[in-house]
Structure 1
């Protein structure tokens, strides 16, 4: 794939990143980076003096950490960028340095004679290009290597032969380091430098070319480095394009990581939704079992009460009605409790699921600029709607046991207090109105809460205060039994009697269920609502997962196809 085709495809995914390239200056940006004690500031100061540029106030020379942010200065036709030292124990400063390197055209690695030591975990990924993409990316075309402070280990005055031998040894060690770490750095230039021979200048802010040791330019390596830097503006086009590829690969790699995180979050949604779906199925099965058992249980209890009553030759219709009514009341209370337990359990599960779904913020912020908007906001809206409707259902069991009469009395009392305060508010002066308004607001909130409990209590009392057994029907049954009792009971008549009991029991159970059944139906409808919501979430999460996988694959493809310009540029330099 040609570079222009690759860039066009990257622009379709990361348009802002490609557009950002226009903000870079028209001169090569050279980032000096390395360990905090490598001598970066000393080297930069010397380069500025050689270029005849004033030393900025922020540039200080010290063995301590003195640079905490990136700073730029123009010299030698370039923009020289000082960066915070690596391996200095500050993640923030390290991140600043890495970003400064990423936004440069040329990376000037400054190392002491020990070469790469404590900063190797940061420097090696930059040199290998693995800081920009997992497979690595050649950086030879954008790298200058400077080994400094040679005069601290070898005598450049009295033993120049030994000094140069030491410099050659450091270059050999650098080559061995490249080989051992399998770095493809090709012909990246290496300079051995003594930026401030024997420390003549130190932190002198008014240093000039003559301030440095006499004759040092013959052996200190600075002239060669200056010559290299002065030639970089002529290579700006190639340097800037290589830097752009590094930056875009870095953005693509970050996008892949973000996609992975988003896919993990999406998978967690699927797992939780499937678990919740199974819970709803279990609750629906329990509701069906309770409902079917409840109807059969009431028929059986009524038949048992009838058989028991007539077995003792009972003839008092009122007594029979009381017994049957007590039976139905107990049954209603039992079913109400069973429903209440189901509602509590399902409500707790729903609360848990809804909280989980509403926390998924990543869904609404796709990383890739060109990707379609996620369905998460719609899903959260559905979850909230289902939760509100389900909470309405739960109100039938959420009250503290007071009677309708008790709640009504409280509402009346609160209403009167609010009315009294409103009268006082009309008569009060400015300073008192604020306090009265607060009191009214507090009472109104209490009244609203009490009115909600009043409504719940009415519903609850209606559920358990049902008496479906009309006296007329019971009297008819007792009369029918008395007629049969006058004669000898045959097998046929005994069967008729049992059928009568069964029919009456079925009718009474149907009437009682007609009263409490709607509550179970509401509960079942709430479960169906949840099931529908969960199915929608699973469908959208599955679609989202497939979309993310496709986007990630596309980004990984672009990373794999990223142009590697090292060999071509090095060949061009050899030819020239």
Structure 2
């Protein structure tokens, strides 16, 4: 168990502009919330926004203007809305391995939101997870209390079994996918898993001005009742224990992230120090060589001047010969330099 106060104090004392203040502000803002926070997360186009729309409409709540439904990447910020006794956050989709800045920022925002939540809801399609599997696996093993990491296999009417023409086949496929999910992520079979079709056959499409009756024909098999009941059952009575666990997850992740950043900086500074040391050594070698050349040149000049004076004495040719000798000496040693 991490000592949160010790981590915060250590971060504050780090030199060079540690982001400790921002981490502390983010955590303190979350810790002050008096409602449980439920965060929907997962890859782009897994149906997080349409899932939230369905929960809102069935609860008789208005769909906020920021909630848009389409097959494109539409969610770029973390947004939240109150449903029953909790706050539900919709997050941008993960974009594992993406090189563009916007996709990287989306992933960063989503991960930050998951770090500051009481209940995490991993939203997956019937293909479960592919590129993001390792990242999700890491998230799932970060110390979530029993019952606070949920799994939603979303848009299951698109999974390959027609619930209206073959309901038995649909339910068998649903059971098989739940078992696959347990195996893929090595989950305890008590982990809450919901198989849902939040907008069967895209009945509502992108609309947000809706009434619950639009989905009445599908309620016997669409799985949304169980999920809605679970959301309604989220109670502030467990909030203290959930926040304690969230604090352990959050500050452990902050500590690990900071240590990784410091190790990276150490490697960079070590490499730069090596380059600087090599430069200093080369400079010292050059200085020694220049001192040697200077000494040799001075000795040669003294000898030449002495020889010219000895040969020409106090004659008219002395000045001319001295100038010629100096010119030759300068040209020779300039070339050596």
Q: 1:248 to 1:186 in 2, by over 3 A?
A: farther
Q: Residue in 2 aligned with 1:11?
A: 8
How far does residue 266 in structure 1 lie from its aligned partner after superposition?
1.8
- 1:536-575 aligned within 5 A: none
Which residue matches 2:16?
none
Mapped partners of 2:74, 2:298: distance in 1: 84
Q: Does 1:227 align with 2:247?
A: no
SS at match of 1:35: coil
Residue deviations 1:546-576 (CA, integer Å, cap 9, x gap): xxxxxxxxxxxxxxxxxxxxxxxxxxxxxxx
Separation in 2 of the partners of 1:186 and 1:274? 58
Q: Please state if 1:276 is matched with 2:279.
A: yes
Residue aligned with 2:216, SS: coil
Aligned to 2:127: 114
Matched, 1:37 2:45: yes
Query: Retained in 2: the 8 A contact 1:111–1:146?
Result: yes
Q: Distance in 2 between matches of 1:204 and 1:324?
A: 102
Determine if contact 1:154/1:166 at 8 Å carries over to the other structure: yes
Distance of aligned partners of 1:320 and 1:86 in 2 relative to their CA distance in 1, 3 Å threshold: closer
Aligned to 2:17: none
Equivalent residue number for residue 139 of structure 2: 129
The answer on whether the counterparts of 2:145 and 2:245 sit within 8 Å (CA) in structure 1 is no
Map 1:339-378 to 2 at 5 A. 341=337
Q: Label 1:266 to 1:35 Cα distance change in 2 as closer, same or farther (>3 A).
A: closer
**Equivalence for 2:149:** 143
Query: Match of 2:61, SS?
Result: coil
Determine which of 95, 111, 114 is the counterpart of 1:101: 114
Show the counterpart of 2:26.
20
Distance 1:245 1:126, change over 3 A: farther
Deviations 1:220-245 (A, max 9, x none): 32222222223333322222232223
Counterpart Cα distance in 1 of 2:53 and 2:123: 13
TM-score by length of 1: 0.49
- Residue from 259, 264, 274 that aligns with 2:262: 259
- State the partner residue of 1:166: 173
Change (3 A) 1:162 1:327: closer
Superposed counterparts of 1:150-189, under 5 Å: 150-152=156-158, 153-157=160-164, 159-179=166-186, 187-189=190-192
d(CA) in 2 for partners of 1:235 and 1:26? 11
Report what 2:83 is aligned to.
75
Aligned to 2:323: 326
The whole-number CA distance in structure 1 between the counterparts of 2:137 and 2:188 is 8
Output one character per residue of 1:252-307: Cα deviation in whole Å (capped at 9) or x when no partner: 23322321232123223322222222222222322332333234323432443355
8 Å contact 2:27–2:116 — kept in the other structure? no
Structure 1 gaps of 5+ residues are: 131-135, 310-315, 342-576
- Bigger Rg, structure 1 or 2: 1
Alpha carbons of structure 1 residues 157 and 320: separation in structure 2 relative to 1, 3 Å: closer
Residues 163-209 of structure 1: CA deviation (Å, up to 9, x unaligned): 32222111111122124xxxx66732111122234444444433233
Q: Whole-Å Cα distance in 2 between the matches of residues 43 and 322 of structure 1?
A: 101
Matched, 1:91 2:94: no
Whether the 8 Å CA contact 1:36–1:87 is kept in 2: the answer is yes
Distance in 1 between the 2:228 and 2:264 partners?
46
Question: Which residue does the alignment assign to 1:245?
Answer: 248
Q: How far did residue 87 of structure 1 move?
A: 4.5
In structure 2, C-alpha distance between the alignment counterparts of 1:177 and 1:23, rounded to whole Å: 35
Shift of 1:338: 7.8
Counterpart in the other structure of 1:305: 308
1:552 paired residue number: none
Change (3 A) 1:70 1:256: same
Task: Tell me if the contact between 1:70 and 1:97 (Cα under 8 Å) persists in the aligned partners.
Answer: yes
1:286–1:159 Cα change, 3 Å: closer
Name the structure 2 match of 1:385.
none
Cα RMSD for the two superposed structures? 3.2
Shift in Å at residue 75 of structure 1?
0.4
Counterpart of 2:54?
Answer: 46
SS in 2 for 1:318: coil
| 1:409-455: CA deviation from partner (whole Å, max 9, x where unpaired) | xxxxxxxxxxxxxxxxxxxxxxxxxxxxxxxxxxxxxxxxxxxxxxx
The answer for the alignment partner of 1:289 in structure 2 is 292
CA distance in 1, matches of 2:42, 2:29: 26
Name the SS for the 1:129 alignment partner. Answer: helix
Q: Secondary structure at the match of 1:213?
A: helix
Could you tell me the TM-score, scaled by structure 2's length? 0.80
Query: What CA distance in whole angstroms lies between the structure 2 residues aligned with 1:35 and 1:20?
Result: 24
Deviation at 1:138, TM superposition (A): 3.8
More helix by share: 1
| CA-CA distance at 1:333 after TM superposition | 4.2
- Cα deviations across residues 447-478 of structure 1 (Å, max 9, x unaligned)? xxxxxxxxxxxxxxxxxxxxxxxxxxxxxxxx
Offset, 1:145 = 0.1
Compute the displacement of 1:19 (Å): 4.8
The structural deviation recorded for 1:47 is 0.9
